[in-house]
Amino acid sequence: MTRNARRRTPRADLVVVANRLPVDRVVEDDGSTSWRTSPGGLVSALEPVMRANHGAWIGWPGDTGDQPEPFDDEGLTLVPVAMSDREYAEFYEGFSNATLWPLYHDLIAKPEFHREWWDAYEVVNRRFAETAAKVAADGAIVWVQDYQLQLVPAMLRELRPDLRIGFYLHIPFPPTELFGQLPWRRQVLEGLLGADLVGFQLPGAAQNFVRLVRQRVGHKTHRDSVYLPDGRVVVAKAFPISIDFSGFEELARSVEVVERAEEIRRDLGEPRRIFLGVDRLDYTKGIYARLRAFGELISDGHFTVEDAVFVQVATPSRERVSQYKIIRDDIDRLVGRINGDLGRIGRPAISYLHSSFPREEMAALYKAADIMVVTPFRDGMNLVAKEYAACRYGEDGALVLSEFAGAAEELRQAYLVNPYDINGMKAKMLEAYHADPKELARRMRAMRRCISENDVSHWASAFLDELTANRPRHDKQVKPARTG
Ligand code: GDG
């Protein structure tokens, strides 16, 4: 890849501000540095759109070294924002991933509230806002991403009132009762209100936000609009995120991927059915519950380890955060127990891979698997479910999907499950195991149509069209804000 460092800060008409750059800085053994494309939902979703628009992407380079100069990456300008070790611990691991992440995911783990983490969250958000203020051209569109940067819209608006600012939340937005626990609830809401458009995965999340703004900040609201005392109208709406459908399908059709999928099946001993899970190793994803369900299906005698295997890819994630250490140990123990109790020589019940893989290998796994099991307790969308369907161009394969993944609102033909109900999950996994190919084709065809008609470029243009639409100011009489 050509990556040319720039001397002066470039100015762009379309700017994405995200916690991470779409690349990681890696220090080689000889001390030189290089850049490697990094995985993750947000990167998979946004990169194609930004490249097509020659935009600028502001983000953290993935280590706590010095701040590299902005550089070109095949038509996209990358603008690194530095973070110290302490900020990484307090802003990223702390407030973002041990306070907001569990709070926004239904308290599956208990959120921790620490005042010094909040201070770091403000400091780092300000640094991102100041960088965006420098990079954005006059009247530019700035699109801020996700829960780590909820204060950026208001901070940026103060510095650059000429900009069109959008914000998109990739994770759920909690109901008022849960959000109300956050000691800094009002500051977060006011931070988001700096945007012209606040986007969510689902309509329910947008409604939660509008209700909270009315309750906690005291602004007048009507349907998806918030009326601010200065005459601005902020719109809150759902834009369900998607994937590069044709890109995934093309990858899955390539000779290399098709051959690799066959090789995977052979290496697994040609079982009748391959079950697959692919997730960041996160307690929200329901990995433990699904593996337990699978183990019980074998111990109950529904099938044997010769008939079926479960391949679980768990990509390492947030490994220093204590709840992530706990879930990793729990899963290690469970896999050990199930394989110890049920496996035979050369035939484990679960093939567990705690590592990350190239995209081609992911596509080969999707292609090799008969039953994809996606069972989060709560998930903003879940791109893995959509990627699986994109790779099933033969209209075969079954998707077992949690009702609590955003994707379940679109993929109604999946085998929908409640991940808290182990017996219910077992029944659906078994139904998928025995399903008739015609039935699978009917379901898969409908899901593939839905995703191909609503792919990631559709998502991005729907958001950007709404953001750039002419939005008149209001002349409503607004009451002074109540305290939140
Ligand atoms: C957040 C929200 C929302 C995973 N392991 C590897 C790898 N991946 C890729 C997958 C997929 C992405 O990472 C994961 O996306 P998900 O949507 O499943 O989950 P989160 O990471 O939690 O994403 C989520 C998303 O943001 C987008 O808005 O859907 O609800 O939580 O694309 O394929 N990719 C590669 N190697 C791996 O080992 N190459």
pLDDT (tens digit per residue) in 392-441: 999 999 999 999 999 999 999 999 999 999 999 999 999 999 999 999 99
Q: What is the pLDDT of residue 48?
A: 67
**Residues of the chain above pLDDT 70, percent:** 92
How close is the Cα of 146 to the center of ligand 1, in Å? 14
Residue 163 near residue 156, CB atoms below 8 Å: yes
- Is residue 483 very low, low, confident or very high in pLDDT (cuts 50, 70, 90)? very low
65/126 Cα distance (integer angstroms):
19
The one-letter amino acid at 222? H
Contact 166, 141 (CB under 8 A): yes
Looking up tokens 């161009």 gives 393
pLDDT, residue 477, reads 59
pLDDT higher than 50, residue 1: no
- Compute the distance from residue 355 Cα to the ligand 1 centre, in Å: 14
List C-alpha distances in Å: 378 to 193, 203, 327, 401, 406. Answer: 25, 15, 16, 11, 8
- Crossing angle, helix 245-253 and helix 383-391, to 10 degrees? 50
- Residue 115, H or E segment: helix 115-135
Residue 221's DSSP bridge partners are 226
Residue nearest to atom 30 of ligand 1 (CA): 380
Edge-to-edge strand order for the sheet containing 136-145? 71-73, 76-80, 56-60, 12-20, 136-145, 164-168, 197-200, 233-238, 225-227, 220-222
Q: Distance, CA 233 to ligand 1 centroid (Å)? A: 33
Tens of pLDDT, residues 446-467: 999 999 999 988 998 899 999 9
Q: Are 44 and 83 spatial neighbours (Cβ–Cβ below 8 Å)? A: no
- The greatest distance separating any two alpha carbons of the chain, rounded to the nearest whole angstrom, comes to 75
What is d(CA 154, CA 171) in angstroms, rounded to the nearest whole number? 20
Residue ranges, comma separated, of all CATH 3.40.50.2000 domains in the chain are 3-241+463-468, 245-453
Which protein residues touch ligand 1 with a CB less than 6 Å away? Answer: 39-42, 44-45, 170-171, 241, 278, 280, 315, 356-359, 362, 379-384, 387
Q: Choose one of 24, 248, 383 to mutate for the ligand 1 pocket test, by most ligand atoms within 8 angstroms of C-beta.
A: 383
- Ligand 1 centre to CA of 227 (Å) is 35
Q: How far is the CA of 315 from the centre of ligand 1 (A)?
A: 9
Which ligand 1 atom is nearest residue 376's CA? 30
Name the pLDDT band for 177 (thresholds 50, 70, 90): very high
Among 19, 44, 100, the mutation site with the greatest number of ligand 1 atoms within 8 A of its Cβ is 44
Partners of 77 in beta bridges: 56, 72
Closest CA to 236 of 248, 252, 218, 223: 223
Share of the chain above pLDDT 90, in %: 81
Question: Taking each helix axis from N to C terminus, what angle separates 115-135 and 152-159, rounded to the nearest 10 degrees?
Answer: 40
Given a cut of 80, is residue 82 above it in pLDDT?
A: yes
Which CATH superfamily hosts domain 3-241+463-468? Glycogen Phosphorylase B; (3.40.50.2000)
For residues 474 and 387, give the distance between their C-alpha atoms in angstroms, rounded to a whole number. 42
Confidence at residue 32, expressed as pLDDT on a 0 to 100 scale: 76
pLDDT score, position 480 = 45
pTM of structure: 0.94
The atom of ligand 1 lying closest to the CA of 241 is 28
In 3-state terms the chain splits into helix, strand, coil percentages (rounded to 5) of: 45, 20, 35
Domain range 245-453, CATH architecture: 3-Layer(aba) Sandwich (3.40)
Q: What is the predicted pLDDT for the residue at 2?
A: 43
Q: Do 80 and 56 contact (CB within 8 A), yes or no?
A: no
* Mean pLDDT of the region 49-77: 83
Q: Which is the closest atom of ligand 1 to the Cα of 45? A: 27
For ligand 1, atom 6: residue with the closest CA: 356
CB 234 within 8 A of CB 228: yes
Residue 430 identity (one-letter amino acid):
L
Where residue 30 falls among pLDDT bands split at 50, 70, 90?
Answer: confident
d(CA 94, CA 101): 10
Higher pLDDT, 162 or 1: 162
